[in-house]
Every structure is written in structure tokens, then in C-alpha cells.
Amino acid sequence: MPLKSLDDLLIHQLKELHAAERHNSEALPALAKSATDPDLKSFLEKHGKESKEHLGRLVDQLEELGAKAPSARAESKGMKGLVEDCMEIAKAAKHESHVRDAAIIGAVQHVEHDEIAGYGCACAWAKIVGNAPMANDLEKTLEAERRADAELTLIAEGINKKAAAATPA
């Protein structure tokens, strides 16, 4: 779709976010299985459910703009790469468990930061084109992603200390 207007750009961004949330919602359960820290495991399971809710909202927003949600084959190349990095870390059985948990948090935070940037742009563009209700919905999702990032940071504080203690001198 050629980007001829800010409305077109908003639709493009919503589709990108849809693909990103789909990649994320598929990966988070596997990451939760790989995590050993109970708080991290719980966070990943909960955030996987939230990602599915975000997907539903994005479908509604795209329909409101007269656009279809991307197919299940549609990809966000950037998010796919970030998620693949997460999965590579999660599958590495040779990592010490606390170090693997710390690596999972770091990789998931990369994903969260990408989502924060994407939702921030979409929210700003929705405001500019005069779609206040959509901007409000996008702002709610943006805040949820910011809270998720903050929660990961809190979890990381304890895990990083355990990972440092496990590191051989």
C-alpha cells in the first residue's frame, strides 16, 4: 500500500503492530516454559494473554479505518528477528538458569521497547488525524506496554543479582 497520507501511515503502523503482537503472543508461552524464575514465568504467561487482547483491539482499529488485519502469514521483520533472538536464548539448555532468565528479560525488553515505539507513533498519528477515540485506545495499550517494561525491570533486579552470583570468578 503506497503511503500517501498520515492515515495510510497509521494503517501501515497498525498492521505492523498486529504482526508484531502476533509474533509476540506466539513466543511468550514458550519463553515462559523456558524461564525458571517464578515471577518471570508468571509475567511471561500474563503478558502473552495481554498480547492476544492487544491483537483483538488492533483488528477492531483496522476495521474502523476500513482496512483488513494482516493475514497469519504477515510478518513484522524487525519483531520476528527480536522474537527469534528470544527463542534462541530460551532454547539454549547449556546456559545457567539465572543467566538464561536474565537473557530472556533482556530480549523481551527489546521487544517491549519496539512495541512502545510503535504504539507511541500510532497514538500520535491517530491524534493528528483527529481520531481521538482510537488515540485513547492506543494510549491504553502504550501504557500497558510501559508497565510491562517496568515490571520486567523489577524482576530483572533480583534475577541479575542471582546471575552475577552464579558467574564463575
Q: With bands split at pLDDT 50, 70 and 90, how would you rate the model's confidence at 24?
A: confident
Structural domain for 156, as ranges: 6-64+75-166
pLDDT reading at 169 higher than 60? no
Q: What is the mean pLDDT of residues 116-130?
A: 97
Q: What is the pLDDT of residues 34-43, one digit of tens each?
A: 899 999 999 9
List the CATH number of the domain containing 118.
1.20.1260.10
Considering only residues 77 and 140, tell me which one the structure prediction assigns the higher pLDDT.
140
3-state secondary structure of 96: coil
Count CB-CB contacts under 10 A for residue 39: 15
Long-range contacts of 46-51 (CB under 8 A, 24+ apart): 47/148, 48/24, 50/144, 50/148, 51/21, 51/24, 51/25
Q: With bands split at pLDDT 50, 70 and 90, how would you rate the model's confidence at 93?
A: low
Residue 36 lies in a domain: yes
Query: What's the total number of domains in the chain?
Result: 1
Residue 120 lies in a domain: yes
pLDDT at 154: 97
Residue 70 lies in a domain: no
pLDDT reading at 29 higher than 70? yes
Alpha-carbon distance of 76 to 62, in angstroms, equals: 16
Amino acid at 16: E
Average pLDDT taken over every residue of the chain = 89
Considering only residues 100 and 140, tell me which one the structure prediction assigns the higher pLDDT.
140
Residue 148 lies in a domain: yes
Q: What is the mean pLDDT of residues 100-129?
A: 94
Residue 69 lies in a domain: no
Record the cell numbers describing residue 141, joined without a space.
Answer: 495499550
Q: What is the pLDDT of residues 45-81, one digit of tens each?
A: 999 999 999 999 999 999 999 998 776 666 677 777 7
Count CB-CB contacts under 10 A for residue 16: 22
* Nearest alpha carbon to residue 13 among 82, 62, 81, 73: 62
pLDDT at 26: 85
Residue 1 lies in a domain: no
